[in-house]
Amino acid sequence: MENLVQTGFSLDAHEKPTNQDLTVTYTPNDLVMRYTYTVLKNGVPSSSESIDGEKPVTIVLDESGTYQIKIESYDYYNRKTEIESGIYKIDKDAPVIVLGSDSLKMRVGSILYPMADVRAYDTQDGDLLEQVTTNVDELNFEEIGLKKLVYTVTDSAGNTTTKTMMINVVKDDTFGVILIQLGIIAALMGIIFAMLSYRRSVKLEQRIKKYSIESLNDHSLSLFDRYYQFYAKLLKRISKYVSKSVFLKKYSNRYDKYVGIMGDENRTGVDFVSAKILIAILFVVIAIISSTLQIELMNSYEIVFPFLFGFFVPDILYISKHKLHRKHIENDLLQAIIIMNNAFKSGRSITQAIELVMTELDGAIAKEFKKMRAELSYGLSVDVVFGRFADRIKLEEVNYLTASLSILNKTGGNIIKVFSSIEESLFNKKKLWLELESLTSSSKMIMYVLFCVPILFVIFVSVINPEYFLPFFTTPLGIMLSFLIVILYVVYIMCVRKIMAVRM
């Protein structure tokens, strides 16, 4: 009877792994009254069912694992019979290929070791490195260009996995790299020699100092001052060439508002553009040095990015300085108007009121009023002077003050009442603004946190799993999605700032 029951399985065993579903039908013989079947997955019972009578049962095995079916059957005399099926192995899990890097740069004619830093394994078969195949024989590494190296591995169940490595074959720039390295070494040796010579001269000066008489006026320059003078001369030389370009000359007009804010009153808008060009060249030199240290030579496309980055980085400093300058003037403008109003009450003129603000206040507002006093001494009218002041600062309060003075000069009127009205208006506005700042401070803090959360999330995930966001930078679809994400993030910031903005 045992042999008769054993043949009840439609599939006795399937020990060779397969990636297809297995259907096993058990049909009991005529003597069986009831039976219970239990499916063991990886040695652990996963399902069980009791069936009365001689009805067959169909068991579908559709998940990865090692299965076995146990049957407990009972005949008319309630005698128990236990049988076991063979082993069924299902493997639907694809093997895994791990590459040391998804992209590689190599020189023309270099030898490629495709299996270096490569791992391949499967949950059922274990290590599959020896079964990995590549198309390396089909690739020509004697030609410059982008090559696609494809790794393929198949496990015993027929599951196949492919992984692609992009190989950028570039020309051999070893000779050029060596020349640049020699140039860098020569420049460093020159700097070291200059520093040693300067140190030696300082020591000699200290030795003979006790035998000499110090001059009343010390016109000697420090090493930093000498480098600054060299920078200033180089900047002026570049400005001469920049001023000859119509486009750059027009582009430099937007930097005229920064004159005097950055600490040098003699600088012009052209000098700011020249400084940006000089900083951009410095960034390119640093990029070339870093690339040379990696035994690589930068191409023209790789030079453009550090140049543009260095060209626009100073704008962050200029804009922040200008905003800070405007903030100081906005805070001190009310005090300046109070001082001018008190001067008018004591019978003084506009010029004397401006001079009084110069002496009573300091900082950015004092510098601006000093400029206005100088412009008045050159013969400009009060309307023009305050108009130029409004164009430099671009504050609504200054525009209001300029318009009031212009109307007073043309039509006449009581300047004391006008300034008293302006003083009261600015005082109430500042008071309201301070109250508004205190009420919206928590909302602004939430806004800044919302700005930082996506960036912090990306940094946190990148630290835990550096390869998590790698597809966003190595695949065409990922690059498009990265570009779209950046645009959406910028739009998100602009919308939130627009919602939070309050006009007074």
The single-letter DSSP state of residue 268 is -
Contacts of 298 (CB under 8 A, 6+ apart): 287, 288, 291
What pTM does this model have?
A: 0.52
Same domain, yes or no, for 10 and 108?
A: no
Same domain, yes or no, for 44 and 104?
A: no
- In the prediction, which pLDDT does 1 show? 33
- In the prediction, which pLDDT does 7 show? 56
Strand 118-122 and strand 126-127: the pairing is: antiparallel
Looking at the 3D structure of the chain, how many domains does it have?
4
Q: Does residue 344 belong to any structural domain of this protein?
A: no
User: Which of 70, 90, 110 marks a domain boundary?
Assistant: 90
- In the prediction, which pLDDT does 151 show? 92
Residue 391: φ, ψ to 5°? -65, -35
Q: Does residue 69 belong to any structural domain of this protein?
A: yes
Residue 398: φ, ψ to 5°? -70, -40
Of 68, 24, 32, 21, give the one whose Cα is nearest residue 47: 68
Same domain, yes or no, for 84 and 101?
A: no
Same domain, yes or no, for 299 and 181?
A: yes
Helical (H) or strand (E) element with 232: helix 223-242
What are the CA-CA distances from residue 144 to residues 23, 39, 151, 172, 302 (Å)? 54, 58, 21, 10, 17
Q: Does residue 410 belong to any structural domain of this protein?
A: no
Q: Does residue 380 belong to any structural domain of this protein?
A: no
Task: Give the whole-angstrom CA distance, residue 472 versus residue 469.
Answer: 6
Helical (H) or strand (E) element with 292: helix 269-293
Same domain, yes or no, for 86 and 120?
A: no
Task: Give the whole-angstrom CA distance, residue 350 versus residue 416.
Answer: 11
Strand 118-122 and strand 96-99: the pairing is: antiparallel
Same domain, yes or no, for 295 and 182?
A: yes
| Contact between 11 and 27 (Cβ < 8 Å) | no
Q: Which long-range contacts (CB under 8 A, 24 or more apart) does 313-320 make?
A: 313/279, 313/283, 314/272, 314/275, 314/276, 314/279, 315/276, 318/255, 318/258, 318/261, 318/262, 318/272
Strand 65-75 and strand 80-84: the pairing is: antiparallel
| Contact between 169 and 108 (Cβ < 8 Å) | yes
Overall size of the chain counted in residues: 504
Task: Give the whole-angstrom CA distance, residue 252 versus residue 256.
Answer: 7
Same domain, yes or no, for 232 and 306?
A: yes
Same domain, yes or no, for 73 and 162?
A: no
Q: Does residue 394 belong to any structural domain of this protein?
A: no
Residue 289: φ, ψ to 5°? -65, -45
- In the prediction, which pLDDT does 185 show? 78
Same domain, yes or no, for 104 and 151?
A: yes
Same domain, yes or no, for 282 and 183?
A: yes
- In the prediction, which pLDDT does 218 show? 58
User: Which of 67, 90, 113 marks a domain boundary?
Assistant: 90
Q: Does residue 374 belong to any structural domain of this protein?
A: no
CATH code for the domain of 85 = 2.60.40.10
Q: Does residue 66 belong to any structural domain of this protein?
A: yes
| Contact between 52 and 34 (Cβ < 8 Å) | yes
Q: Does residue 399 belong to any structural domain of this protein?
A: no
3-state helix, strand, coil in the chain (%, to 5): 55, 20, 25
- In the prediction, which pLDDT does 152 show? 93
**What is the residue range of 466's domain?**
440-504
Per-residue pLDDT of the chain (504 residues; tens, 9 = 90+): 333 334 588 888 888 888 888 999 988 888 888 889 999 998 888 888 888 887 889 989 988 888 999 989 888 888 888 888 889 988 888 899 988 888 887 877 778 888 888 889 888 888 888 889 998 888 888 888 788 889 999 988 888 999 888 888 877 666 666 676 677 778 778 878 877 887 777 777 777 766 666 665 656 666 667 777 888 888 888 888 888 888 888 888 888 878 777 666 667 888 888 888 988 888 888 877 777 666 666 666 677 888 888 888 888 888 888 888 888 888 888 888 888 888 888 888 888 888 888 888 888 888 888 888 888 888 888 888 888 888 877 778 788 888 887 777 777 777 788 778 888 888 888 788 777 777 777 777 877 887 888 888 888 887 787 767 777 776 778 788 888 988 988 888 888 777 766 555
Contacts of 252 (CB under 8 A, 6+ apart): 242, 268, 269, 270, 272, 273
User: Which of 75, 90, 105 marks a domain boundary?
Assistant: 90
Quick one: 156 exposed, middle or buried, by C-beta within 10 A (0-12, 13-18, 19+)?
A: middle
Same domain, yes or no, for 101 and 160?
A: yes
Same domain, yes or no, for 185 and 285?
A: yes
